[in-house]
Amino acid sequence: MSTSKKLALAVLITLVAASAFPFFSRAATPERTPQQTSVDASQVLVDLKSEDLQVRKKAASQVPNMGARAKEAVPALARMLEDKEEQLRQTAARALQQIGPDAKEALPALTRALNGDRAIRSTIISTMAQMGPEGKAAVPALIERLEDANEQVRLSAAAALHTIGAAEKECQATLVKLLNSRLPQVRASAAYQFRAHGPSAKDTVPDLLVVLRDQNTYGYVRVAAAHALGKIDPKNPEVTAALIRALSDKRKGVQKAAAVALASS
């Protein structure tokens, strides 16, 4: 075992022992099991076409509970994306998101909404991301959103494109720009996304090192950068040196993140 790994493990053991809660486990907080609600799928499909707005809205919210028949609701949900009522459009988009790849026939409607509906743009992008490789038809529209005026939309578009498996370099270029955002939560989200890119994002290492070394930024932003560096190029001597220095950082979270990155390299 390398010296850096031994040091990282020693720091982790010390931090875990001093913590009141387990670091590697969430067993102390049992996860809630989502409640399953049975609905009359045939009635939901009828109600989706109702002239009553409230009936349509309720039906759209029930679609995810239709099980295997949920995909039968896709055409009606796609039409709802063009409704004048914003809340109905939002509910329809969320229902399509939960249907996932089986909702791919709604991609043309989702793309139109993405380009014209600012109110639910982030929800639409998340819906496209849930389709995975089936969402490739949405790639051109998502690439356009990498230049959106809203930073959160740009973050969402980059994440969706990565999930779909497209435009990797364009996504990384966008995320690098977002590392310089005025908003710390945007910087942290951008850095965190690089974890999923792994070694393909080696060109971004210098930018992430700047974030990790920045003592004037929030700790959680530097934590995200440390985790990303650990996934991208942990054996890079400059990365290793920066992570070792971070083991003695004044912020415990940064110490933990650096230790995990080093220990997993």
Q: Nearest 5°: phi and psi at 30?
A: -60, 140
The domain spans of the chain are: 185-265
Contacts of 140 (CB under 8 A, 6+ apart): none
pLDDT digits over 202-228, tens only?
A: 999 999 999 999 999 999 999 999 999
R_g (Cα) of the chain, nearest Å: 22
Average model confidence (pLDDT) across the chain? 88
**pLDDT value for 4:** 54
User: Which tokens go with 101?
Assistant: 């790849």
The answer as to CATH 1.25.10.10 being correct for domain 185-265 is yes
User: Which tokens go with 68?
Assistant: 């295997």
User: Which tokens go with 231?
Assistant: 């996934």
Confirm if 105 and 70 have CB atoms less than 8 A apart.
no
Rounded to 5°, the CA angle 57-59-63 comes to 120
Q: Is the pLDDT of residue 16 over 60?
A: no
pTM above 0.85, yes or no: no
pLDDT digits over 39-62, tens only?
A: 899 999 999 999 999 999 999 999
Confidence tier at 20 by pLDDT (50, 70, 90): very low
For residue 19, give the nearest of 241, 259, 263 by alpha carbon. 259
User: Which tokens go with 224?
Assistant: 């995200």
Q: Which of 8-12, 45-49, 84-88 has the lowest mean pLDDT?
A: 8-12
Confirm if 221 and 254 have CB atoms less than 8 A apart.
no
| Length in residues, the chain | 265
Average pLDDT over residues 100-110: 95
Task: Specify the residue for token string 């959106």.
Answer: 148
- Give the residue ranges of DSSP H helices in 165-251: 168-178, 184-197, 205-213, 219-232, 237-246
Q: How many Å apart are CA 75 and CA 41, to the nearest integer?
A: 15
